[in-house]
């Protein structure tokens, strides 16, 4: 995070305290209770809890260390009995635990396959407690009758290099991982391998928009298509920060840095987010050692929002039944119900307001000059587009308070229980009318989500959303 | 066929219209037309004979009369060809085969077209006492007609034959319950397989004939004779907004074949004869027939089966972006 941005964040409450009372950061973070003075990192969703790695002491025996005298991490599991309440962590599995390194992991959707990071060579004797060779790779294992078996190395592990940080897509057909094998852009780069005909295909580097000459690690692909990762190379400081990117037409786009509380002045990485995007976990050393933090949003998340459509009341009217054999020349006169009459085969007309209009068709037979009045008629309901509707300015100056309201929202059979705003800059708010000031110039997608009262106790709250783009420009001063 | 019968009678009765004037009101045809056999066919009649059938419902219990308006050939209405020297015979047939004989339902007066029992006949020449007057045949007991199960009624056949001369006979019929008045027979209808008629002189008038399309028809062939290029012939139906057909010129036949839409089956077509505005054509006579793809003639009911067909206009509206 740039110094300028961090200063902005610090000054934020002072500069715009009035307006930001209505637009507070929506994510609350907490250090999880099972953290210790040792390192806890690389959370992964597993069953109803988390799997993570930690170098906490697992038994009374002397531990192995690397050349920096750092202890190796092992995989632990912490079940969650109710939201935010985790059991004491236990080793994930004896079968997967060695006296060397077990690191970041991920699981298949059914929880029966694990991809995890581990020291490649675990065959060295146990006499030497300090290991020189700590190269690691990715391994997979399957859960059979409660035991992890079939431990198999990833075919693209390379001796002498480090391959790890696996992340499996929801459908199990894409594996993101990191490697420093020297063929990339420098440090660790993120790669993708695709499952094809029973094999993982040749890895592809995600490219220069994502990878830098420094480390990019801890990829996590969310169901929304966002790929979260941590990098040291997209900003001037050398700390790890969390970013996300999306793929458009096969190209991963320029990453976007997450705001506080995800990123801090220290190392922040390893973000995972649940499908509904209201709970996430990440690692930060902001309190000294690497610990796992939860991030929780009290505002519902709205996915797959459609761009807001402007309300236009324009129609084309025509007579659809005439056949290809018809050769008679007829003139149509359309009475459009609002005082407008148009003499054309097809009548295009924009009504000035919503309402129900009776459209009538008069036909003039040009052969006989006979006028047949009201040959057909129909009532047309002209209404607003069914959508949450954001009323605001298209352009605003940096720091200037912008008022937005949802009063023109039009949703049929929908009893609104709340309006929720995402300003696209990491801030959210709620209410039918909100105010917000943007700190940086740019183009922002304002998202308005509307939740409704449920019709039956057994079903989820109905909700819908739409987006509107606004442009924030620098002050001319 | 049951559906057809249902339409023939129920439509006629519920509409409160009776097929007694021939031509009927919706047809807007001034006169039927038959020329003497010495006339040139270029004057409009291809065969100097016209056959019409009258259909009386089975349960109609009163005598019926077949009346002819302006039966003679002379005076105000008829078309003079030099001197009025034409003789015309009207013959009424009933009984077995008067309708069911194959020759009776053909366009040409040949073979056994005079089938059935001759119930009445009278010839007319230039007789001023019948000029624009009615002559009445009958009374006939409905059962004297041929019972046709498919119509569920009795059919009488009326043939107007040109016997001598070259003048044009213009006339009308009326099926009546009274000898001296035109009083309609409830539920009756009349039809022909070839229609020979006189056009209006006024260019603003539009005449109509209504062939009934049964459910066998896939396509039909519309034939018209001696239209003299007097404007346009247009077909309208519930599914046809207006389709122009090829038209005949002087003394020739022209055929136009076109497909039948599903929506048109078991309904009538409306064949419209739209006169051109300029130059005005007067005293135009035309002969029309329609056959299906099997070559079978379609009947022209003077009261169209299923009612006068109107194109079903629909208003459709779609939202657009400006």
Contact B243 A314 (CB under 8 A): no
Min distance B168 CA to chain A CA atoms (Å): 28
Evaluate if residue A14 carries a pLDDT over 70.
no
Mean pLDDT across the stretch A146-156?
95
**Nearest-by-Cβ selection for A328 from B204, B242, B320:** B242
- Reported as a pLDDT band with limits 50, 70 and 90, residue A24 is very low
Evaluate if residue B8 carries a pLDDT over 80.
no
Evaluate if residue A460 carries a pLDDT over 70.
no
Residues in chain B with CB shorter than 8 Å from the CB of A327 are 242-244
Instruction: Kindly report, residue by residue over A269-327, the tens digit of the pLDDT.
Output: 999 998 877 789 999 999 889 999 999 877 777 888 999 999 989 999 998 877 666 67
CB contact at 8 A, B260 and B218: yes
* pTM score over 0.90: no
Evaluate if residue A3 carries a pLDDT over 60.
no
Contact B319 A326 (CB under 8 A): no
Evaluate if residue A15 carries a pLDDT over 50.
no
Contact B315 A367 (CB under 8 A): no
- Reported as a pLDDT band with limits 50, 70 and 90, residue A22 is very low
Residues in chain A with CB shorter than 8 Å from the CB of B321 are 312, 314
Higher model confidence: residue B317 or residue A71?
B317
Mean pLDDT across the stretch A202-228?
94
Residue A67: what pLDDT? 62
- Reported as a pLDDT band with limits 50, 70 and 90, residue B18 is low
- Interface probe, candidates A327, A336, A363, chain B, greatest B C-beta count within 10 A: A327
Instruction: Kindly report, residue by residue over A171-196, the tens digit of the pLDDT.
Output: 999 999 999 988 899 999 999 999 99
Instruction: Kindly report, residue by residue over A29-50, the tens digit of the pLDDT.
Output: 899 999 999 999 999 999 999 9
Residue B10: what pLDDT? 42
| Least confidently predicted of A66-80, B14-28, B112-126, B204-218 | B14-28
Instruction: Kindly report, residue by residue over B63-82, the tens digit of the pLDDT.
Output: 999 999 999 999 999 999 88
Chain B contact present for A376, CB below 8 A = yes
- pLDDT cut 90: percent of chain B above it: 79
Instruction: Kindly report, residue by residue over A404-436, the tens digit of the pLDDT.
Output: 999 999 998 888 989 999 998 867 788 999 988
Contact A376 B314 (CB under 8 A): yes
- Reported as a pLDDT band with limits 50, 70 and 90, residue A106 is very high
| Least confidently predicted of A457-461, B111-115, B177-181 | A457-461
Angle of CA points A378, A380, A381, to nearest 5°: 150
Evaluate if residue A13 carries a pLDDT over 90.
no
**Nearest-by-Cβ selection for A376 from B240, B313, B320:** B313
Residues in chain B with CB shorter than 8 Å from the CB of A360 are 315
Q: How many CB pairs under 8 A join A and B?
A: 84
Evaluate if residue A112 carries a pLDDT over 60.
yes
Chain B contact present for A379, CB below 8 A = no
Residue A401: what pLDDT? 84
Residues in chain A with CB shorter than 8 Å from the CB of B207 are none
A332-361 residues touching B, CB cutoff 8 A? 348, 350, 359-361
Residue B21: what pLDDT? 92
Contact B206 A314 (CB under 8 A): no
Instruction: Kindly report, residue by residue over A348-407, the tens digit of the pLDDT.
Output: 999 999 999 999 999 988 888 888 888 999 999 999 999 999 999 999 998 788 999 999
- Interface probe, candidates B207, B315, B320, chain A, greatest A C-beta count within 10 A: B315
- Interface probe, candidates A309, A320, A323, chain B, greatest B C-beta count within 10 A: A323
Contact A360 B315 (CB under 8 A): yes
Residue A409: what pLDDT? 96
Residue in chain B nearest A380 by alpha carbon: B317
Residues in chain A with CB shorter than 8 Å from the CB of B320 are 314-316, 348
Average pLDDT, chain B: 91
Residue in chain A nearest B321 by alpha carbon: A314
Residues in chain A with CB shorter than 8 Å from the CB of B206 are 368
Longest dimension (CA), chain A: 111
Residue in chain A nearest B257 by alpha carbon: A325
Residue A81: what pLDDT? 86
Average pLDDT, chain A: 86
**Nearest-by-Cβ selection for B317 from A330, A368, A380:** A380
Evaluate if residue A224 carries a pLDDT over 90.
no
Residue A456: what pLDDT? 64
Residue A164: what pLDDT? 96
Chain B contact present for A317, CB below 8 A = yes
- Reported as a pLDDT band with limits 50, 70 and 90, residue B35 is very high
How far apart (Å, rounded) are the C-alpha atoms in residues A440 and A433?
22
Contact A312 B322 (CB under 8 A): yes
């Amino acid at each position: 995070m740039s110094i300028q941005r961090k200063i902005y964040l610090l000054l934020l409450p002072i500069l715009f305290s009035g307006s930001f009372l209505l637009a507070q950061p929506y994510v609350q973070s907490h250090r999880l209770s099972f953290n210790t003075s040792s390192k806890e990192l690389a959370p992964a969703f597993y069953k109803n809890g988390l799997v993570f790695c930690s170098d906490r002491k697992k038994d009374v025996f002397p531990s192995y260390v690397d050349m920096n005298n750092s202890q190796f991490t092992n995989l632990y599991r912490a079940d969650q009995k109710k939201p935010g309440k985790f059991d004491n962590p236990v080793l994930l599995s004896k079968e997967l635990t060695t006296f060397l390194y077990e690191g970041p992991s991920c699981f298949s959707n059914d929880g029966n396959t694990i991809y995890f990071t581990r020291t490649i060579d675990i065959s060295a004797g146990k006499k030497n407690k300090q290991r020189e060779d700590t190269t690691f790779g990715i391994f997979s294992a399957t859960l059979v009758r409660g035991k992890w078996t079939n431990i198999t190395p990833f075919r693209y592990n390379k001796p002498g290099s480090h391959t790890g940080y696996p992340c499996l897509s929801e459908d199990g057909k894409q594996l993101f991982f990191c490697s420093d094998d020297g063929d990339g852009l420098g440090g660790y780069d993120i790669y993708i391998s695709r499952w094809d005909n029973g094999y993982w295909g040749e890895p592809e580097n995600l490219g220069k928009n994502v990878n830098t000459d420094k480390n990019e690690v801890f990829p996590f692909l969310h169901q929304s298509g966002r790929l979260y990762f941590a990098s040291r190379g997209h900003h001037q400081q050398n700390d790890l920060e969390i970013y996300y990117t999306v793929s458009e037409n096969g190209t991963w786009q320029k990453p976007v840095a997450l705001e506080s509380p995800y990123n801090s002045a220290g190392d922040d990485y390893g973000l995972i987010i649940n499908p509904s995007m209201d709970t996430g976990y990440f690692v930060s050393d902001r309190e000294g050692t690497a610990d796992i933090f939860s991030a929780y949003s009290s505002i519902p998340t709205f996915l797959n929002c459609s761009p807001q459509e402007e309300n236009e009341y324009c129609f084309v009217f025509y007579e659809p039944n005439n056949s290809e054999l018809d050769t008679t020349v007829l003139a149509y006169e359309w009475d459009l119900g609002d005082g407008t009459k148009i003499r054309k085969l097809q009548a295009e007309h924009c009504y000035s307001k919503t309402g129900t209009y009776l459209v009538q068709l008069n036909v003039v037979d040009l052969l006989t000059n006979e006028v047949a009045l009201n040959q057909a008629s129909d009532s047309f309901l002209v209404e607003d587009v069914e959508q949450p509707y954001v009323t605001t300015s298209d352009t605003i100056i940096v720091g200037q308070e912008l008022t937005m309201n949802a009063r023109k929202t039009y949703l049929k059979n929908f009893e609104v229980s709340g309006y929720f705003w995402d300003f696209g800059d990491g801030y959210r708010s709620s209410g039918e009318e909100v105010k917000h000031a943007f700190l940086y110039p740019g183009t922002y997608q304002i998202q308005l989500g509307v939740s409704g009262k449920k019709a039956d106790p057994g079903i989820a709250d109905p909700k819908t959303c739409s987006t509107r783009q606004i442009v924030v420009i620098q002050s001319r001063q | 066929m049951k559906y057809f019968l249902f339409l023939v009678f129920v439509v006629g009765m519920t509409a409160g219209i009776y097929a007694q004037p021939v031509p009927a009101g919706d047809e807007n045809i001034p006169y039927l037309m038959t020329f003497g056999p010495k006339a040139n066919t270029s004057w409009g009649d291809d065969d100097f004979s016209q056959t019409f059938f009258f259909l009386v419902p089975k349960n109609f219990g009163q005598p019926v009369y077949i009346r002819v308006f302006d039966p003679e050939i002379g005076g105000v209405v008829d078309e003079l060809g030099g001197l009025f020297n034409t003789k015309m015979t009207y013959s009424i047939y009933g009984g077995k085969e008067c309708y069911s004989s194959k020759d009776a339902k053909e366009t040409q007066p040949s073979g056994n077209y005079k089938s059935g029992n001759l119930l009445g006949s009278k010839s007319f020449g230039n007789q001023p006492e019948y000029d624009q007057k009615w002559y009445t045949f009958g009374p006939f007991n409905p059962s004297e007609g041929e019972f046709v199960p498919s119509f569920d009624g009795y059919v009488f056949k009326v043939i107007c034959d040109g016997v001598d001369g070259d003048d044009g006979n213009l006339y009308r019929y009326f099926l009546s319950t009274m000898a001296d008045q035109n009083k309609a027979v409830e539920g009756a209808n009349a039809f022909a397989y070839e229609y020979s008629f006189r056009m209006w002189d006024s260019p603003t008038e539009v005449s109509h004939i209504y062939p009934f399309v049964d459910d066998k028809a896939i396509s039909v062939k519309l034939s018209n004779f001696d239209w003299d290029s007097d404007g346009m012939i247009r077909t309208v139906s519930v599914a046809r907004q207006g389709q122009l057909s090829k038209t005949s010129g002087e003394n020739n036949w022209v055929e136009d074949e076109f497909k039948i839409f599903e929506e048109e089956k078991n309904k009538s077509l409306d064949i419209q004869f739209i006169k051109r505005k300029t130059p005005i054509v007067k005293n135009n006579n035309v002969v029309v027939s329609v056959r299906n793809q099997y070559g079978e003639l379609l009947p022209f009911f003077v009261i169209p089966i299923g009612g006068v067909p109107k194109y079903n206009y629909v208003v459709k509206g779609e939202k657009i972006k400006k």
